Structure 1
């Protein structure tokens, strides 16, 4: 390995080479003393004054070099850059070359001018002796070797050549290989040191990495020799066994060290026989892995491997968290981890045990409770608060149930109670309803106060008729009945609920088939200009005529479709049908299609809309898409992105039923909306209720300030229409005052009639 040049050698190695130049400065004192003494002798023997001057030059260069050496010693070498190191090397080389140059000049002068044998001998001898020392002192810098060799030898060679003495010239030429040898020797020393520096650094790096890896292991480690003495131990082993510092444990007997650690790990201060046997089996190789419990708070799992030379490596880890987790899992098999209540499986097991232990038959009851609007708590306060509310509910449930009922958590925000009715209370229904009523009220959670109500469904039955696979179905049917009627109530299971459930399931299947086979149809409610002279747009409304039950109201089958997650199928049908029908109507009449919340959960709706437009050939400007506030509440960012994309394609966006929610005003500003459809609730009684009329006017003023087109829905009487026209409150009117929903053929007829009426009126005006 050859040493790299100073430009490429690692900075720390470069610094070490340069630092070596500034070390061992005692030789400099010896050298300057010998140099000056020798030149004084030459002066005394020859009387040449130049040698006194050279003595002064020696002293000046020496003083300058000592000053540089002191500055180098005082400098903070940790902040040296490569350029800083190079500057210090140059300072040293200049000083060393100066001394060598004085020696060379003195020798050349003695040969060429003085020509005294003694002077020549002294000068050349001192110069050659100094050259020999150059290797030992200046190996760290090739520049220093080269410059000093040239400064010493070049004057001698020049003087010998100029003396015109053949043998002197020949001998002086011999200084060239001598100088090259000196240079080669210095390079050899530097190469050797470079190899050692690099090797030492690599060994140190490997040792540091090994030590870092060893001491940052998550496992404890012991390496034992054949005599059971510790060769290597890491920091984690000392931490786990509460041992002394690892350096103090090397060459100690493992058994003794383990007993010392055991005194800190065991209450009785002794190593149990079982653990001692397990350790002996590990070390001997008869056992490769074992779990050792040192106390209730420390479980260590050991594994051992034995080498052919008798060295044993023990690796172990703290598995206390795992053991605790396994115990917790065993607990979670029976209990809910959040509330601590029994889960469904353990709840059923407990019921069976209690019923098996009953001395006589009797009525039992099972009540399922569902927290009303619990999703709203999670959405507004976060899941952490929601979980804490569930914990508070579970605590009150256990308190109210007492010995009267066994409480459990089913899933999510559903709880269940079993009433064993061991005292044969005749009014078991009253007891169930009383507990349901007691659960409602205020719950305080982290400075938040929640008024919570519960929808309940329960079933009572003779204890002998309890069937694990049936009780929840019946209780859930009763709960579903409660939710469909009024939240916060409590319903008992009745047999007709089962029939209604079956009927609803059948209706779901029929609806799925109707959507898949295209058995829905569309009707249209036209929207007129306030004077009734022109149809501006028609809202597409879906209809389903069941083959057996007849016409199913939209609010029924659309709700069922949303429950089933197939409402997008209705949207797809309505988009395709509405675009095809609108394409047959006279321009510029538009068609409006409603989108559901499920439609706006992904940008697939954009593809669906564009496919309907492409298939029908309808201009995008003639398609209006209506979204209600309920569509906007869950994922506003996603909805905004989808509506922006649709609007960019030329489609008109309208907010339907505006004003019925709490956040409608904010949506006007944040969403790409073109039309506001004022809900019918704002129109009702505007001819009699001045406050309602003022509210309607305020909404109209706000919408117009935002340059939005205004559609008022639910206009049913001429009086309402007259008031709206008088105050110019609407751009478009939709309601029974003009038309009920009709077929697409009727729309064509209505447009034709309006056209004929307008032509007749123009003719009358002309006449």
Structure 2
């Protein structure tokens, strides 16, 4: 078999050949000493300093070769690529060829220049000895053999030929077959070793194939005779069962082997009764498959096949990872990954199981807890803090509910508790209220103290009436009722809540239909100069008259529209009607329209306003758009950009209900605002409360300093009006003291009366 080319030789074989070149550096030292001593002897005999120069060359080459030998020994061979191995081979070849070249030059020089018998004999002898060692040391590299042979022989051939001595020339030509023989011998050694390596590898592959077939990859195999003795056992079986060397297990009783056969066996002398029973059932044919847990770290799945001549073949595999994965998947399905509490589906299973175990029919309860203002925690402190707060809440609930209730986590910031009956205990509501009161309070999360309250909806019913889908709906209705009243409340479900819920759902359906048909009407609240001498602006107010229920309060149907996501449709209709009506009024009267939070979440409102102004022909300066402070909290930067674009078209921007939100004063500086509408809460009781009047005057002073127009809302009495006029607190007055909301057709008439000073203030009586 001929050695393939270097590129065809497997990398590991190539590495072994190159490694053989660097194996024995001590012979390298011996050769160097012999070479130097020989050339020093020639120098002593001939006095030619050329050989001293060659000795220096030997030392330099030797130092370089020792350096690379040392580096190779320290190199991690497993990290070498084929190109790396090639570079190491070239480093060795360069050093070896340099040594051979110095020897050859020394011999050729002796033949050509010195023509001294001792010099010729000594140099040629040491050179030939080195060539002989080429076979033993350099068979691993064809290039090393070729270059060293050439470097040794060529200078001697050239020196002999140039010496013009016929006998030396003939003798030197004999070096050619000698070099070829040396090369052939080295190649023969390399080919022999290569064949053996390949043959060994093939034998190992065949042996591995048989062993792999026997062990069936990850499966263990035990073949038992009719007497339950082991006939064949593979290596994998010994590894899985910790049985040691398999050869010593042949003809041993399986039960004895598992109990006593191995000193370090993980199965103790008594053997767990379940494992023993399962093995016995497999062997006698009662079952054909079984999963056995030998320890926390080892779970094996066995299958058994009966042999025709008696006995059984047991095949088994390690299914620890699979069982753990199945258990983990089951745990992930059942439990919330964040809090570790049961999720909705598994919580329902636990409730049904607990209810089934309840011997006597009795009262049971459910409570759904919702974290108040949880979104505010996420927005201000980050979602990671929010998640850790939920974990802390879950831990506190588990402590409070221990022995009282089953705790689950549905979604987001919502927790649920099931209270089973306790004998004659009928006061489940008291248990619920106790946990609800205890779970609220301060929570310390990442060095932050967070005050948390919970809105809770509860259902109390007989265990015989348990319907999982029904109690969830009822609890959600009670929770909705609790949140609609005020934060931190607990409300127990009552049947009328269901009726209110259904009524609200019908109202949603009717409102959607009314919006689609354009049935939202508009009324206008006039804004007058403080002395009532002129009507300057009118605020457009959306109105909806239900065909059966009559007029629906704006705070009801606007809230419903926001829940349904259709409030922007109402805004568009109000803007269209307000602009069409304003065109018909005297030119000095402007109209003001409120924008909702949803209107300010994107730039669609800009296109809406532009298209309505273009359709109606209303001048942009006659349209005012009002935004509430609550709409500024969520996305202040987005709102600022939208308002700046609207204002650039000449539209007036007003802040409505000023003073009721957060950081009110900062908005006056950061937003493109023209008008400040001071909330009615600042006007109430200003005649009796001096501090409230001072606060109002302070806001007015600040606003006027920023060149903002001031509208005071909710003025209802002549006394309030007189006080506002006295202290010059308003540019415009809006309130029942002058007018309630009126139809569009009445605006022109009211404006005429005001201009004739025939419109008087009055005290509104609710």
TM range (shorter): 0.5 to 0.7
Instruction: Look up the match of 1:658.
Output: 658
Q: Work out whether residues 659 and 678 of structure 2, in 8 Å CA contact, stay in contact via their aligned partners in 1.
A: yes
Quick one: structure 1 residues 735 and 107, their matched pair in 2 at CA, closer, same or farther if it must change by over 3 Å? farther
Equivalent position to 1:231, from 215, 228, 235? 235
Instruction: Look up the match of 2:516.
Output: 516
Instruction: Look up the match of 2:680.
Output: 680
CA distance in 2, matches of 1:99, 1:419: 104
Q: Calculate the TM-score normalised by the size of structure 2.
A: 0.65
Unaligned runs of 5+ in 2: 208-216, 225-230, 378-384, 758-766
Instruction: Look up the match of 2:270.
Output: 268
Instruction: Look up the match of 2:220.
Output: 222
**Could you list the per-position Cα deviations for residues 96-153 of structure 1 after superposition, in whole angstroms to 9, with x for gaps in the alignment?**
432332122123336xx56x7x976776565455445445545677886676555544
1:610 aligns with 2:607: yes
Q: Work out whether residues 15 and 85 of structure 1, in 8 Å CA contact, stay in contact via their aligned partners in 2.
A: no
Q: Work out whether residues 680 and 712 of structure 1, in 8 Å CA contact, stay in contact via their aligned partners in 2.
A: yes
Instruction: Look up the match of 2:5.
Output: 2
Instruction: Look up the match of 1:101.
Output: 105
Instruction: Look up the match of 2:292.
Output: 292
The residue matched to 2:593 in structure 1 has which SS? strand
Structural mapping, 1:435-446, within 5 Å: 441-443=437-439
The residue matched to 2:656 in structure 1 has which SS? strand
**Could you list the per-position Cα deviations for residues 632-665 of structure 1 after superposition, in whole angstroms to 9, with x for gaps in the alignment?**
66xx3xx345425524643576553233245556
Q: CA deviation at 1:551?
A: 1.6
Q: Work out whether residues 292 and 301 of structure 1, in 8 Å CA contact, stay in contact via their aligned partners in 2.
A: yes
Quick one: structure 1 residues 122 and 465, their matched pair in 2 at CA, closer, same or farther if it must change by over 3 Å? closer
Q: Work out whether residues 348 and 468 of structure 1, in 8 Å CA contact, stay in contact via their aligned partners in 2.
A: no
Structural mapping, 1:279-678, within 5 Å: 280=283, 289-294=289-294, 300-302=299-301, 314-318=316-320, 319=323, 322=326, 337=342, 346=352, 354-355=360-361, 374-376=371-373, 380=377, 382=386, 385-386=389-390, 389=393, 412=414, 441-443=437-439, 488=489, 493=494, 503-526=503-526, 538-564=538-564, 566-578=566-578, 589=590, 591-596=592-597, 605-607=602-604, 609-611=606-608, 613-614=610-611, 616-617=613-614, 626-631=626-631, 636=634, 639-640=635-636, 642-647=638-643, 649-650=645-646, 655-662=655-662, 664=664, 677-678=677-678
CA distance in 2, matches of 1:707, 1:183: 104
Q: CA deviation at 1:232?
A: 3.7
Q: CA deviation at 1:181?
A: 8.0
Q: CA deviation at 1:542?
A: 1.2
Q: Work out whether residues 479 and 491 of structure 2, in 8 Å CA contact, stay in contact via their aligned partners in 1.
A: yes
Instruction: Look up the match of 2:763.
Output: none
**Could you list the per-position Cα deviations for residues 506-535 of structure 1 after superposition, in whole angstroms to 9, with x for gaps in the alignment?**
433322321222211223445567787887
CA distance in 1, matches of 2:192, 2:534: 103
Unaligned runs of 5+ in 1: 208-218, 356-363, 759-767
Instruction: Look up the match of 2:46.
Output: 50
Q: CA deviation at 1:721?
A: 5.5
CA distance in 2, matches of 1:270, 1:347: 30
Range with greater deviation from structure 2 (175-184 or 568-577): 175-184
The residue matched to 1:228 in structure 2 has which SS? strand
Quick one: structure 1 residues 76 and 555, their matched pair in 2 at CA, closer, same or farther if it must change by over 3 Å? same
**Could you list the per-position Cα deviations for residues 392-445 of structure 1 after superposition, in whole angstroms to 9, with x for gaps in the alignment?**
56876788x8xxxx999897456676889969xxxx9xx688677766645467
Structural mapping, 1:185-200, within 5 Å: none
CA distance in 2, matches of 1:441, 1:615: 53
Quick one: structure 1 residues 353 and 620, their matched pair in 2 at CA, closer, same or farther if it must change by over 3 Å? farther
Q: Calculate the TM-score normalised by the size of structure 1.
A: 0.65
CA distance in 2, matches of 1:269, 1:421: 43
CA distance in 2, matches of 1:92, 1:560: 93
Q: Work out whether residues 478 and 493 of structure 2, in 8 Å CA contact, stay in contact via their aligned partners in 1.
A: yes
Q: CA deviation at 1:50?
A: 3.1
The residue matched to 1:314 in structure 2 has which SS? strand
CA distance in 2, matches of 1:200, 1:666: 85
CA distance in 2, matches of 1:626, 1:456: 36
**Could you list the per-position Cα deviations for residues 608-647 of structure 1 after superposition, in whole angstroms to 9, with x for gaps in the alignment?**
55245336527888766544454466xx3xx345425524
CA distance in 2, matches of 1:420, 1:127: 105
Instruction: Look up the match of 1:358.
Output: none
CA distance in 2, matches of 1:705, 1:187: 102
Q: CA deviation at 1:329?
A: 8.9
The residue matched to 1:617 in structure 2 has which SS? helix
Range with greater deviation from structure 2 (481-490 or 738-747): 481-490
Quick one: structure 1 residues 644 and 263, their matched pair in 2 at CA, closer, same or farther if it must change by over 3 Å? same
CA distance in 2, matches of 1:299, 1:148: 60
Aligned pair count? 690
Q: CA deviation at 1:548?
A: 2.6
CA distance in 2, matches of 1:85, 1:620: 86
Quick one: structure 1 residues 184 and 324, their matched pair in 2 at CA, closer, same or farther if it must change by over 3 Å? closer
Instruction: Look up the match of 1:762.
Output: none
CA distance in 1, matches of 2:358, 2:22: 93
Q: Work out whether residues 459 and 471 of structure 2, in 8 Å CA contact, stay in contact via their aligned partners in 1.
A: no
Quick one: structure 1 residues 643 and 379, their matched pair in 2 at CA, closer, same or farther if it must change by over 3 Å? closer
Q: CA deviation at 1:679?
A: 2.0
Quick one: structure 1 residues 708 and 266, their matched pair in 2 at CA, closer, same or farther if it must change by over 3 Å? farther
Q: Work out whether residues 385 and 445 of structure 1, in 8 Å CA contact, stay in contact via their aligned partners in 2.
A: no
Quick one: structure 1 residues 163 and 366, their matched pair in 2 at CA, closer, same or farther if it must change by over 3 Å? closer
Q: Work out whether residues 336 and 342 of structure 1, in 8 Å CA contact, stay in contact via their aligned partners in 2.
A: no
Q: CA deviation at 1:544?
A: 0.3
Quick one: structure 1 residues 189 and 493, their matched pair in 2 at CA, closer, same or farther if it must change by over 3 Å? same
Q: Work out whether residues 289 and 304 of structure 1, in 8 Å CA contact, stay in contact via their aligned partners in 2.
A: yes
CA distance in 1, matches of 2:552, 2:201: 86
CA distance in 2, matches of 1:305, 1:669: 83
Q: Work out whether residues 410 and 416 of structure 1, in 8 Å CA contact, stay in contact via their aligned partners in 2.
A: no
CA distance in 2, matches of 1:328, 1:33: 77
Q: Work out whether residues 580 and 616 of structure 1, in 8 Å CA contact, stay in contact via their aligned partners in 2.
A: no
Quick one: structure 1 residues 420 and 138, their matched pair in 2 at CA, closer, same or farther if it must change by over 3 Å? closer
Quick one: structure 1 residues 562 and 258, their matched pair in 2 at CA, closer, same or farther if it must change by over 3 Å? farther
CA distance in 1, matches of 2:90, 2:143: 11
CA distance in 1, matches of 2:180, 2:532: 114
Cα RMSD (Å): 6.4
CA distance in 2, matches of 1:584, 1:181: 119
Quick one: structure 1 residues 720 and 451, their matched pair in 2 at CA, closer, same or farther if it must change by over 3 Å? same
The residue matched to 1:540 in structure 2 has which SS? strand
CA distance in 1, matches of 2:112, 2:532: 125
